[in-house]
Structure 1
Amino acid sequence: MTEVNAIERSPSMLKNYIEITKPRLSIVVVFSSIAGYFLAANTYEWQTLVLLCIGGYFLVGSSNVFNQIIEKDLDALMKRTQNRPLPTGRVSVKNAWIYGVIMALSGIYMLFLINFATAFFGALSILLYAAVYTPLKTRTPLCVFVGAFPGAIPYMLGWVAASGNFGIEPGTLFMLQFFWQFPHFWAIGWMLEDDYKAGGFKMLPTGAADKGTAVQIILYTIWTVMVSLVPVFGVTGDLYMTPYSAVIVGLLGGWFLYYAIKLYKERSNAIAKKLMLVSVSYITLIQIIYVVDKFIR
C-alpha cells in the first residue's frame, strides 16, 4: 500500500474530496443559479430545483477539481494553497481525475434532465474554465477576461433552466455577473499579489497592484452598476425592476464604487480585501433584490 493510498483511506478521506470541490465557492455559485431560476419561473417545480442545485454543484465542483489538478505543482508554491489535498498528496491526481469526470458527467446529465440548453451552457462552463481559463492564468492577464465567461454562466443558467431558451433576460444577468467579476477578482489578485507571483499567475491587468489596475477596477465597477440598473428601464423583456428597488440597487452600487475609488486613492491590501468582501455582498444582495422585487410588485 502506497503512502498516498494510506492517506486516502484515512477517516478524513470524505473531507478531502469535499474540500477539492471548493464547497463554499460552489454553494455561492449554485445560489446565483437558484436566483436566476426564481426570476424566470412562473410556476416552481421542486424536481427542477433539486436537479439545478445538485447538477450545478457537481459542475462547479468538477471545474474546481480539474483546476486544482492542473495547478497542483503551482499550488504547492503558494502559502494560500500549499495545504490543499492535491499538493499534500492527501488525494492522488489519478483519483481526482476520476472524481472530477464522474462529477462533470453526472452534473451535465442532471441539467440535461431539465432541458438541453441548461446542459449545454453547463458543459460549456466546465470547458471554458478548465481547458481555457486555467492554463491561461500563468500566461496572460487576459485570463480574467476569459474566466469571466464561465463565471457569468451560472446566474443566467437558472433562467435558462426555467425557460428553456436564451434571450435578453438571461443575457442581462450574464452581463451583470460578467462585468462584476473584474473588480472582484482583481481585488483578490491585489491582496494576494505576492502569493500569485510565487505561483507564476498573471491575474492583474497591468501585471502589478498599481494605479493602472485601480483605474480599471473603477471602470468595471461602473459598468457593473450600470448593467444592474438596466432592468428598471423596461428594455429587458420579462426581467424588470421597479424604481423603488432600483434606488436600493443604485445605493449598493455607490457602496461598491466607493471602495473601488478608495482603493485607487490608498492602494493598500487592507482596502483591496474590503473591496473583495463588498463585491461579494453586492452581487448577493443584487440577486436577492431582483427576486424579492418580482414577488412584491
Structure 2
Amino acid sequence: MSTTATSTTQYSIISDFKEITKMRLAISVVFSSMAGYLLGVETVDYTTLALLAFGGYFMVGASNAFNQIIEKDLDALMDRTKNRPVAAGRMSVNTAFAIASIFTILGIVILYIINPQTAMFGAISIFLYACVYTPLKTKTPLSVFVGAIPGAIPFMLGWVAATNDFGIEPGTLFAIQFFWQFPHFWAIGWFLYDDYKKGGFFMLPTRKKDKGTATQTIIYTVWTVLASLIPAFGFTGKLYITPVSAVIVGLLGLGLLYFAFQLYKKLTTQAAKTLMLASVSYITLLQIVYVLDKFIR
C-alpha cells in the first residue's frame, strides 16, 4: 500500500471517529460542564476538571454513537448525515456499538470518580438521549422537549461535580440551558426542514415553517433570557451575578430576542440560520460572563 493510501486510511479513521462522537458538539458540552464546575467550586481542582472534561466527552460520544446506530437508515436519506460512518457503510454497527458501549462505561466510571451524583446525571443523559429522544424524533415534535433535558444537563453537571450537591444553583443552570435548547433547535429544524423531512423528522412545534413556530420560538427565547437573569436577584443561593454582568447578559438576551423576532418577521431559511448562530454565541458568552463575574468581583 502506498504512503498516500495509508495516510488517507488513517485520516478516514480519525475523521470517522470525530463524526461518530460528534467532536465539535462534544467539545461545546465539555465547555458548558467546565463553566458549571468553575461556578460551583471554591478552589479549582485541576484533576477533577480534567476528569470532568474526559467524562463529559465520553458521555456525549456514547450518546451520539448510539444515535447514529439507531438512525443509520434514516441518516442515509438526508444530505446532512448520509456521509456519517455507519450510514455510509464505512463503519459496521458492531464497531459503532463497541465504541458507544466503551464510551458509556468510561464516561460513567470517570464521572463516578468525581462523585456518584455526577455519574448518575451522566447516565441519565445518555439514556434519555439514546433511548427516549432518538426514537421520538420521527414520532412527535415533543422530542425536542425530551432532548432538551439531556441537552441541559452539562452546565448543571459541572456544578454537581464541584459540590456533590443538587440544589437551586445547578437547577438554575439547568433551566437556562433547557429553555435555550428550544430557539436553538427550532432554528436548526427550520433551516434544515427539507433535509429532515427526507428522514421523516419533524422537529418544529407546528411541523411547519410558519408564524406559529416562530411565535413559540420567541416565547422560549424570552424564558431563556429571564432564566439567565434570575441569579442577579439573589434567589439562587451561591449562584449570583453582579448588576454589571446582569446588564451584559440582558443585552445579549435582547440581541437573541431580536433575531427571534426577525425569524417571525421574515420566515426565511437565512433568518433561521442567523438565529441559530446567535443562540450559540449567546450561551457561550453567557457562560463566559458568569465565570468571569465570579472570579473578578
Partners of 1:235 and 1:244 lie apart in 2 by 17
Q: Find the counterpart in structure 1 of residue 236 from structure 2.
A: 236
Deviation of the 1:10 alpha carbon: 3.5
Deviations 1:43-63 (A, max 9, x none): 111110111000100000110
Partners of 2:156 and 2:44 lie apart in 1 by 17
Given residue 281 of structure 2, which amino acid in structure 1 is its aligned partner?
Answer: S
Is 1:180 matched with 2:180?
Answer: yes
Given residue 88 of structure 1, which amino acid in structure 2 is its aligned partner?
Answer: A
Deviation of the 1:18 alpha carbon: 2.5
Write the mapping of 1:159-238 to structure 2, written as runs, cut at 5 A: 159-238=159-238
Task: In structure 2, list runs of 5 or more residues that go unmatched.
Answer: 1-5
User: How many residues in Structure 1 have an aligned counterpart in Structure 2?
Assistant: 290
For the aligned residue pairs, the C-alpha RMSD in angstroms reads 1.1
Do the aligned residues in 2 keep the contact of 1:57 with 1:107 (CA within 8 Å)?
Answer: yes
Q: Find the counterpart in structure 2 of residue 280 from structure 1.
A: 280
Partners of 1:241 and 1:51 lie apart in 2 by 27
Q: Find the counterpart in structure 2 of residue 260 from structure 1.
A: 260
Given residue 134 of structure 1, which amino acid in structure 2 is its aligned partner?
Answer: T
Partners of 2:257 and 2:16 lie apart in 1 by 38
Partner SS state of residue 86, structure 1 = coil
Q: Find the counterpart in structure 2 of residue 76 from structure 1.
A: 76
Write the mapping of 1:1-297 to structure 2, written as runs, cut at 5 A: 10-11=9-10, 12-297=12-297
Deviations 1:56-113 (A, max 9, x none): 0000011000001101000000011111111111111111001100011001000000
Do the aligned residues in 2 keep the contact of 1:137 with 1:201 (CA within 8 Å)?
Answer: yes
Given residue 200 of structure 1, which amino acid in structure 2 is its aligned partner?
Answer: G
Do the aligned residues in 2 keep the contact of 1:17 with 1:91 (CA within 8 Å)?
Answer: no
Deviations 1:116-144 (A, max 9, x none): 00000000000000000000000000000
Deviation of the 1:15 alpha carbon: 2.6
Partners of 1:198 and 1:170 lie apart in 2 by 38
Partners of 1:247 and 1:15 lie apart in 2 by 42
Deviation of the 1:19 alpha carbon: 1.8
Deviation of the 1:14 alpha carbon: 3.0
Partners of 1:111 and 1:253 lie apart in 2 by 32
Do the aligned residues in 2 keep the contact of 1:20 with 1:61 (CA within 8 Å)?
Answer: yes
Q: What TM-score do the two structures reach when normalised by structure 1?
A: 0.96
Partners of 1:87 and 1:60 lie apart in 2 by 19
Deviation of the 1:209 alpha carbon: 0.8
Partners of 1:70 and 1:17 lie apart in 2 by 17
Given residue 189 of structure 2, which amino acid in structure 1 is its aligned partner?
Answer: G
Given residue 95 of structure 1, which amino acid in structure 2 is its aligned partner?
Answer: T
Deviations 1:164-220 (A, max 9, x none): 010000000000000000000000000000001110012000001111000000000
Do the aligned residues in 2 keep the contact of 1:153 with 1:174 (CA within 8 Å)?
Answer: yes
Do the aligned residues in 2 keep the contact of 1:155 with 1:177 (CA within 8 Å)?
Answer: yes
Partners of 1:243 and 1:10 lie apart in 2 by 54
Given residue 95 of structure 2, which amino acid in structure 1 is its aligned partner?
Answer: N
Given residue 209 of structure 1, which amino acid in structure 2 is its aligned partner?
Answer: K
Partners of 2:185 and 2:255 lie apart in 1 by 18
Partners of 1:15 and 1:119 lie apart in 2 by 28
Deviation of the 1:13 alpha carbon: 1.9
Partners of 1:87 and 1:233 lie apart in 2 by 49
Partner SS state of residue 223, structure 1 = helix
Partner SS state of residue 87, structure 1 = coil
Given residue 139 of structure 1, which amino acid in structure 2 is its aligned partner?
Answer: K
